[in-house]
A and B are shown apart, each in its own frame.
Chain A
Amino acid sequence: MAQITLIEGVTLALARAMKDDDSVVLLGEDIGVNGGVFRATAGLQESFGDERVIDTPLAEVMIAGLTVGMAAQGMKPVAEAQFCGFTMPMIDHIMCHAGRMRNRTRGRLSCPMVLRFPSGGGIHAPEHHSESPEALYAHMPGIRVVIPSSPSRAYGLLLAAIRDPDPVIFMEPKRIYRWQREEVIDDGEELPLDVCFTLRDGQDLTLVTWGAMIKETMQAADELEKKGVSVEVIDVATISPLDMDTIIESVERTGRCVIVQEAPRHCGVASEIAANLADAGIFNLLAPVKRVCGYDTVMPLYRNEMKYMPSVRRIVDAANQILEVS
């Protein structure tokens, strides 16, 4: 047992998956010799050789195309994009091929690939490094979207993503790559890809979030609990398919819900969750559903970055607002 960070959880899962299954290969820019832009693949080329940990040219479209092709022909490729913004040219391959391979071939082929990339802001990176494009991918049929928020979930969910027979977008919240350490046992145990994780039980209010926003949300929950509010915290973790049952079951008990997302508010995953609550859970709501989100702007650079990101204060304010309603 070792106490490891989220990114070490990623590395551990990659190593375990490669050890267990010879068809697992990694590819990406500078993932081999250099160990990856955030060192997620550090040491893996030394262990598994340059045929299984492949340094590619700087060509995202090619990486995506290779990955789809390898996956359709029996490999289990795990591609790394260095930043979320660099996945935009890959979308054609993801959406038009990976996501519909099974349907297009009437089940003859599937596409068991994983595309990993760091996402989210808060690390003072330049433009198009800091977005949270989960809603884009969640909108594509046939694609799973998974975002871990702790070292153990990074390990368990990535293993499950690699073993899953369909394409998985694995978005890593880079701001919390090294935020916390956690005991993670390298036992090859995967975590379920289609249920939410309830991190904290409560009676008065449900906070729903995912990815790096877990940090602020848990802090907000602490603050609210100090004032005597009993807060339930749900880490959605698997954005698509979305496990609404867990969220609805929780909100049926608490009657109040605040959804926290780093991505812009308009047409985000938070909106989808709120719409589902309106659909299936409205008779149990005691107050309007609130969304605390980024703004509908380009992710700002450097100095304004933290103003863009939902803060503990904004979450607590939203919670207090609906606690006052009833």
Chain B
Amino acid sequence: MNVFNLPDLGEGLPDAEIVEWLVEEGDTVELDQPLVSMETAKAVVEVPSPFAGKVAKFHGQAGDVIKTGAPLAEFVAEGDSDDTSEDSTDAASETAIDNSHDEQGIDDTSDDTEIGMDDIADEADEVDEADNLNQADQDDSGSELSDAEDVDLAAFSKRDPGDDKPGDDKPGDNESESLQAAVDSQSEPESSAKPEEETEQASEAQDERADSGTVVGNVQSSNEVLSERTSTVGGVKVTPAVRALARKLKVDVSAVTPSGNGGVVTAGDVRKAADEGSAVASPKPASAPAERSESSKTSPRTDSETSSSNAEPSEPSTSAQTREATASDDWEPIRGTRRTMARVMSESHKNVVPTTLMDDADIHAWRAGEDITARLLRALWAGAQAEPGLNAWYDGENSMRMIHKNMHVGMAVDTADGLFVAALRNVNNADRKALREEINRLRENASNRSIPPEDLKDYTIVLSNFGKFAGRYATPVISPPCVSIVAAGKLRHEVVPILGGVEVHRMIPLSLTFDHRACTGGEAARFLKAMLDDLAKAE
């Protein structure tokens, strides 16, 4: 015998009134066949039959008010006999329990109820939906759902398993299986496939009920005891919570004296250390990538080992380390390019009489994407055409100078190993694309130190583009025998008075140093003027 309890027909409605039975006692009904018409506070609802079989008994007539969750009708399922009446009694008493919870649980689960009812009213005839609901109610029954949804869905769970579609209810995960088992063993013991296992799982589910008190869903519970691992940091043991506290208080746990059992650092130890300032953590325990990759796969390290290996002086092997010179408080010899630089600069300072002119090139007319370096090179040649005396070499000892027909520009290339001045040949004749390729080649060669010596000499004038980093004007230093050097500073926007108004133009600041032994101030100024004029052109 299957009992159909009145489901919640609205949002937490306590009861409903029978308007009309749509079948007679003793009729055989099909699953989802309209069974009864019920009036709630909101509407008249046709309630479909949750079972296929014979209607054995009505629990009320038209006009009677049935409480939500109370028995509405009893069925004899197809192929069922009266010897299942014991089970139906169980089911009824279970319902009573649910119902008692229900009075408290109605409000808080109204949203759920809405879903359940929508499904029943609108989609009950769709097999897939019905399957889902069936699955759902089985899960829920195992976890003591006490809300209204449980009641209405519970009706479906009493459906004879024989009506289930083949292949239905093959739960993929363990939770569903145990819940499925719980339902089966409670309501249909004789249909159980694996009685032993299911009984066991059912009792587990019963244990859960005692603890959970969960209104919706199935929260797994266990008595597994969590004891979080302590980790060893710098030779002392800490729990995650204490380690987090140490991080918060910026305390280096490895420097804290542990007071806990077995050398465990306690929260109190960390607080004490923080108050006393006795174990201040360094801002960030950095570790070099190279070192990490070697040691990561080997034996476990402690943090103290890490810090000691970090403290080792690094070999000046990689470029990064050369640049970021390590401070040692010791005298150290200078080598290589740095030594060359020192020699050349001293010589220049000893002999050259440097004079510097500065001005801004207005590049407002340029199109987007213009190659600054290429334009500067062209401007240099324009300057040299106006004043060839700056594209020259000077020999002070013999009082001679050589004015060059062609222009080979020494480009200052900044690399990790120092500054290289690489020669760009015949700038006056090369087209822009070839120049760009040549610049890139020199730059690459310089940075990987494969630049041939012949590329590093015999330039006739020098261009420095220091403004990539910072700085507006400079007093660049001439490297003899050249007589001039042009340096470009950081490009900027500048307010420019134009025809009584103002405009904002882009400017490249230029600094020209010339050797006053070899050139006059007038020559230098005209050279610079020619450069500015050339740079002001749109292209």
Q: Which residues of A contact B (CB under 8 A)?
A: 3, 5, 29-30, 33-35, 37-39, 42, 58, 82-83, 85-86, 123-129, 150-153, 156, 174-175, 177-183, 189, 191-192, 194-201, 203-204, 230, 235, 237, 243, 245-246, 249, 252-255, 283-284, 286, 301-303, 306-307
Q: Are B231 and A200 closer than 8 Å at their CB atoms?
A: yes
Q: How many B residues, CB 8 Å from partner?
A: 66
Chain A hits for B105, CB < 8 A: 30, 34
- Choose from B115, B244, B292 the contact partner of A191 (Cβ within 8 Å): B244
Select which of B109, B136, B240, B289 is within 8 A of A198 by beta carbon.
Answer: B240
- Kindly list chain A residues whose C-beta atoms are within 8 Å of the C-beta of B212: 178
Q: Which residues of B contact A124 (CB under 8 A)?
A: 136, 139-140, 143, 175-176, 179, 217-218
Given A30-B107, A151-B226: A37 in contact with B244 (beta carbons within 8 A): no
- Docked Cα-Cα span, A103 to B160, in Å, equals 62
Are A204 and B219 in contact (CB-based, < 8 A)? no
Q: Once the chains are docked, how many angstroms separate the CA of A83 from the CA of B214?
A: 12
Q: In the complex, which of the residues A125, A151, A179, A283 has the most CB atoms of chain B within 10 Å of its own CB atom?
A: A125
Tell me the chain B residues, 215-249 only, with Cβ under 8 Å from chain A: 215-229, 231-233, 240-241, 243-245, 247-248
Of all A-B residue pairs in the complex, the 7 with the closest CB atoms, nearest first, are A178-B221, A125-B217, A123-B217, A192-B248, A180-B226, A197-B240, A182-B226
B190 at the interface (CB under 8 A from A): no
A129 vs B112: C-alpha distance in the bound complex, in angstroms? Answer: 9
Question: In the assembled complex, which residues on chain B have CB atoms less than 8 Å from the CB atom of A42?
Answer: 213
Are A196 and B132 touching (Cβ within 8 A)? Answer: no
- Contacting residues, chain B, for A58 (C-beta < 8 A): 107-108, 110
Can you name 14 A-B residue pairings with CB atoms under 8 Å? A34-B104, A38-B219, A85-B111, A124-B218, A127-B115, A183-B225, A183-B227, A201-B233, A203-B295, A203-B297, A237-B244, A243-B247, A302-B136, A303-B135
A174 touches B226 (CB 8 A): no
CB distance from A205 to the nearest CB of B (A): 9
Q: Evaluate whether A204 and B297 lie within 8 angstroms (CB atoms) in the complex, with A124-B140, A127-B115 already known.
A: yes
Secondary structure type dominating chain A contacts: loop
A38 interface neighbour in B215, B224, B240, B267, Cβ under 8 Å: B215
When chains A and B are docked, how far (Å) is the Cα of A37 from the Cα of B110?
12
Asked if B231 contacts A198 (CB within 8 A), the reply is yes
B241, A156: Cβ atoms closer than 8 Å: yes
State whether A252 and B248 are in contact (beta carbons under 8 Å apart), knowing that A30-B104, A34-B108 are contacts in the complex.
Answer: no
- Tell whether B328 is near chain A: CB-to-CB under 8 Å: no
CB within 8 A of B244: which of A5, A86, A196? A196
Chain A residues whose C-beta falls within 8 Å of the C-beta of B104 in the assembled complex: 30, 33-34
Q: Are B243 and A197 in contact (CB under 8 A)?
A: yes
**Minimum CB distance partner of B221 in chain A:** A178
Q: Are B216 and A37 in contact (CB under 8 A)?
A: yes
Residues of chain B within 8 A (CB-CB) of A156 are 241
Q: Which residues of B contact A183 (CB under 8 A)?
A: 225, 227
Q: Which residue of B lies closest to A34 (CB)?
A: B104
- Which residues of B are found within 8 Å of A246, using beta-carbon distances? 247
Taking beta carbons and an 8 Å cutoff, which residues of B are in contact with A?
104-105, 107-112, 115-116, 132, 135-136, 139-140, 143, 149, 171-173, 175-176, 179, 211-229, 231-233, 240-241, 243-245, 247-248, 267, 284-287, 289, 292-293, 295-297, 300-301, 306
Cα distance, A245 to B116, chains bound together (Å): 47
**Cα-based distance from A153 to B224 in the complex (angstroms):** 17
Tell me whether B111 and A128 are in contact (CB under 8 A): yes
Cβ–Cβ < 8 Å partners of B232 in chain A: 201
- Closest residue of B by beta carbon distance from A252: B287
Q: Is the Cβ of A129 less than 8 Å from the Cβ of B241?
A: no
A194 to B221, CA, bound (A): 29
Cβ contact within 8 Å between B296 and A255: yes
Contacts A37-B215, A175-B220, A194-B248 known; A252 to B286 CB distance under 8 Å? yes
Distance to closest chain B CB from A251 (angstroms): 10
Bound complex: CA A29 to CA B218 (Å): 20
Q: For B175, list chain A residues within 8 Å (CB).
A: 124, 306
Specify which chain B residues have a CB less than 8 angstroms from the CB of A37 in the assembled complex: 108-109, 214-216
Bound together, the chains give a CA A107 to CA B161 distance in angstroms of 65
Select B243's contact among A34, A126, A198, A252, beta carbons within 8 Å. A198
Which of A29, A85, A181, A283 is packed against the most chain B CB atoms within 10 Å? A181
**A255 with B107, Cβ < 8 A, contacts A197-B240, A198-B243, A301-B136 known:** no
